[in-house]
Structure 1
Amino acid sequence: MTSYIPFESLRNIPLSYASCSIGTKQSDTLPRKLEAIAAAGFTAIELSFPDIIAYGTQVTGKEPDVREYAQLVNVTKEIKKLADSNGLQIMMLQPFGNFEGWPSGSRERDDAFRRVAGWMDIMDAAGTDLLQVGSSDSPANRISIDRKIIVSDLRELCDLLATRNMRLAYENWCWSTHAPTWKDVWEIVKAIDRPNAGLCLDTFQTAAGEYGDPTTETGLINHMPPTALNQIFHASMDELAQTVPPEKIYLLQISDAYKPLEPLADKTIKGLRPRGRWSHDFRPMPYDGGYLPIEEVAKAVLRTGFRGWFSMEIFDGGPDGKGKEYDMNEYAGKAMKSMQRFLSQCSTDRD
């Protein structure tokens, strides 16, 4: 691990764009998304499951059943052709949520493993070996927060993925009931102890969980003075840089956050707690109105030696979270400029 991050070492970082995080209009179809992403210079996408459903609806005129995996595989094969024709790799399938921690023998646990089998078929069709799983939330407190159960479930998942040479990219969602921080998911990945288990880190999820709070007037965790909060966050990023091996990081997702114009209500709405709602609607690209210390997160990841995928994943509903419209080609081009500026800012020898 080194604190020196030469810009030259960042020139060849591969750049991806999450398909779910561009487009606001009905006319912004998946083929047009891929064209815009490729034209901006990105070389891969994270393929979003809802985009598979949307494209299946577009080409058949009827929304596919989310459990009709044979049909979804056929749709994904067509998406793979579209990606290939645009020179884009499908780097990862996402987002798989609420997989781990269901009671043994429960309908939900059985369903989670059925979904895995179907999603693996979709991954084959997409030509990707990477599955993103977000750290689970706990609907009605039915999902266990017992670390041993969580690890056992994810180990079983990794063993299933390994039968097809596939990998698990485990991400901390900052509203998760059992693993909201980077350290939580890293401890879990270590305990899984499988070569195909690694991390999906995210600048928003990390800073939003340990530094920001959308329910306060300041937008910061307010049970401690700002100076202490900064010191604790710096220490956390130093620990990340010093303890996580670069080969256990599979990608870094990039986004910032708006400070909500009014603090979000500190309650669960439509199944999401405040940080979940914040994640869903208040995430611009870097340098476009956000305020979190996202450069510090990326620098910590780069200090591990990681030079893998940087992937833009933004959910930009504007400062009020109510949504905004834009031209996708212009927006994707702006995202590439933002990513290049971000990489430059993260180097230690920039001009």
Structure 2
Amino acid sequence: MRTSIATVCLSGSLTEKLRACAAAGFDGVEIFEPDLVAAIQSPEEIRALAERLGLSLDLYQPFRDAEGVTEQVMATNLRRAEAKFRLMNRLGIDLMLVCSNVATASLDSDEVSADQLGRLSDLAATYGIRLAYEALAWGRYVSDYRRAWHIVRRADRANLGVCLDSFHILSRGHDPAAIENIPADKIFFLQLADAPSLSMDVLSWSRHHRLFPGEGSWDLGAFVGHVAAAGYTGPLSLEVFNDTFRQTDPIRTAAHARRSLAWVADQAARWLERADGDRTGGPTSLPRLTDAASPTGVDFVEIKAENTGALEELLGRLDFGFRGRHRTKPVTLWSAGEARVILNEQRARDQVPHLAAVGFVVPEAKAALARAGELGANPVHRRTYAGEVELSAVRAPDGTEIFLDEPSATERGWMAEFEHGEPGSECLITGVDHVNLVQPWQDFDEAVLFYTSVLGLTAAPSTEVAGPRGLVRSQVMRTCDGSVRLPLNVAPAILDHAVLPQHIAFSCTDVAALAERARSQGLPFLPVPGNYYEDLAARYDLSSDSIERLRGLNLLYDRDGSGEFVHFYTGTIGEVFLEFVQRRGGYDGYGAGNAPVRLAAQGG
């Protein structure tokens, strides 16, 4: 599989973009014309740099408003096209993207469009150039790839084919199955982008909200599967217009983009296998990632700080028991039920308490780590001594360390390295319900792709919660059975992401009883305003005694058609706080209606 990316996807100068693409392992690039126009290097210098970097220059784009025009406009189009063909010869590019007309089209005629594209192709042929015609989703007359193919077929030129773009096809709700009816040798290029489900005009949607594959709502595995089934053997290329990616470090964004292509190729290969086992043979074969099952649970959470004394006191006031100190490191283990919290003071000078790592139980750690490596995840190396269990880990986009541990190791391995603790006892806490990870705004989409591709989690639809200083965007990553839940939050732009603390939620059998026990131990609860309980009484048919019991214990309450949710929060220590939850019935949410109260109480 050859990979390519449009330079419009990245920030920086054209030379910086080319170097970032090469570092990420791309095979080629699409040259976006405004990037070349703004470059101080000549076309020959750009060509030479690409050759030194091992990059092919796959496509020059875009050539706009070429067809469906009057003869007077067509004469102008041929003149400007010839100038571009000469430029492409200097760059060494033999393929140009021709977009369907959105501005100057005045003739809604397939016959006229085919004739004019044919004449443009004849001129291109004299320069050794091929043309890939693309139906833009907002094209004035041609906005459907099937009509674009009809026009290309009618023009009947060897150097004229189609460019298929997932955004332009899927944003209009067009069925990609008909792609398989296009001969492979007439599919000249493939451009990929994902996108969230939004209700807005397609032009604004396209210009600002495209995402890399795996980050949006579309089934791009099936889309690429249809293209591969047609026999296409060209590069999988990315064309993503996104305000965030045009501001972030190009080296990191290019690596992020390359991961998305590895993921979508794997998804397409799996789709082909399900659709027809014979389709994956020969030229349509796509690379597969190592099979690795999703996590089955949270093994541990790790909080790191220069001094963890306040956290030890907090855990001691709850149902957590001290399970010992690590035999070689300044690290302690606390547990309650199946919930395990590691407090780490190693190499933590001047660091306030923060969530540093999450360990997941996976069926096969070796396979999970291999898959992560194939997706370009950065490995984490921690020093271990003789006789100690070496756990595998990779780093998430926000820096959180993700450990991958097998059940057998969980039961008999690393926990034995903690000494002089007390054995676990029965308690009201059963395990980790969810881990809430706050993301820097520029890392949010990358984090969605990371947890989708590396851990096989599914992304729920994105939501927004109103806080005192702006909207907090949230998206839950989870396994199908809910054994792993990772809500990802991004703070309003006015706030540094560290101002919005991380938190760990623990499941309980009786959260009210736990709150009573913790109160008797002097636990500092997050205060809940009286107005909240007045509103609660109005919203739900709870008895006055129930309301007063909730008020007395600083408990919050939510309900849906499947069940109830009761929970409370501790105060924040450093950059982390704890939540304790009880799910009743089939309740599957997170008390989103209570989040504004919590955010206000925390001042964020």
TM-score by length of 2: 0.44
CA contact (8 A) 1:206 1:297 kept: no
Which whole-Å CA distance do the structure 1 matches of 2:6 and 2:129 have between them? 19
Deviations 1:95-135 (A, max 9, x none): 01111122122xx3332111101000111001011111011
The root-mean-square deviation of aligned C-alpha atoms, in Å, is 1.6
Higher share of residues assigned strand: 2
Which of 66, 72, 75 is 1:110 aligned to? 75
Aligned to 1:283: 210
Aligned to 1:41: 25
SS of equivalent residue, structure 2 residue 171:
helix
Matched, 1:331 2:294: no
Which whole-Å CA distance do the structure 2 matches of 1:132 and 1:162 have between them? 15
CA contact (8 A) 1:45 1:89 kept: yes
Which whole-Å CA distance do the structure 2 matches of 1:313 and 1:282 have between them? 12
CA contact (8 A) 2:179 2:226 kept: yes
Which of 135, 145, 156 is 2:100 aligned to? 135
Aligned to 1:347: 269
Aligned to 1:239: 178
SS of equivalent residue, structure 1 residue 46:
strand
Aligned to 2:561: none
Which of 67, 85, 89 is 2:56 aligned to? 89
Closer, same or farther: CA 153–296 of 1 in aligned 2, 3 Å: same
Which whole-Å CA distance do the structure 2 matches of 1:89 and 1:307 have between them? 16
Which whole-Å CA distance do the structure 1 matches of 2:106 and 2:86 have between them? 26
Aligned to 2:186: 248
Amino acid at match of 1:245: P
Aligned pair count reads: 273
CA contact (8 A) 1:254 1:313 kept: yes
Tell me how far 1:244 sits from its aligned partner.
0.7
Deviations 1:178-207 (A, max 9, x none): 221110111011001011111111111110
Tell me how far 1:285 sits from its aligned partner.
0.3
Which whole-Å CA distance do the structure 2 matches of 1:240 and 1:174 have between them? 16
Which whole-Å CA distance do the structure 2 matches of 1:124 and 1:347 have between them? 36
Aligned to 1:98: 65
* 1:1-351 pair list within 5 angstroms: 13-23=1-11, 28-56=12-40, 75-105=42-72, 108-139=73-104, 142-209=105-172, 211=173, 236-241=175-180, 243-260=181-198, 263-264=199-200, 274-288=201-215, 290-317=216-243, 325-348=247-270, 349=273, 351=291
Name structure 1 gaps, 5 residues minimum. 1-12, 60-74, 212-232, 265-273
SS of equivalent residue, structure 1 residue 315:
coil
Closer, same or farther: CA 168–324 of 1 in aligned 2, 3 Å: closer
Which whole-Å CA distance do the structure 2 matches of 1:259 and 1:325 have between them? 23
Aligned to 1:9: none
Which whole-Å CA distance do the structure 2 matches of 1:304 and 1:191 have between them? 20
Closer, same or farther: CA 85–324 of 1 in aligned 2, 3 Å: closer
SS of equivalent residue, structure 2 residue 39:
helix
The structure with the larger Rg is 2
Tell me how far 1:324 sits from its aligned partner.
6.4
Identity percentage over the alignment? Answer: 30
CA contact (8 A) 1:287 1:338 kept: yes
Which whole-Å CA distance do the structure 2 matches of 1:324 and 1:90 have between them? 21
The list of structure 1 runs, each at least 4 consecutive aligned residues, that deviate by more than 6 angstroms after superposition, is: none
Deviations 1:266-321 (A, max 9, x none): xxxxxxxx212221111110122x11232222111111121211111111225xxx
SS of equivalent residue, structure 1 residue 316:
coil
Amino acid at match of 2:222: E
CA contact (8 A) 2:132 2:188 kept: yes
SS of equivalent residue, structure 1 residue 247:
helix
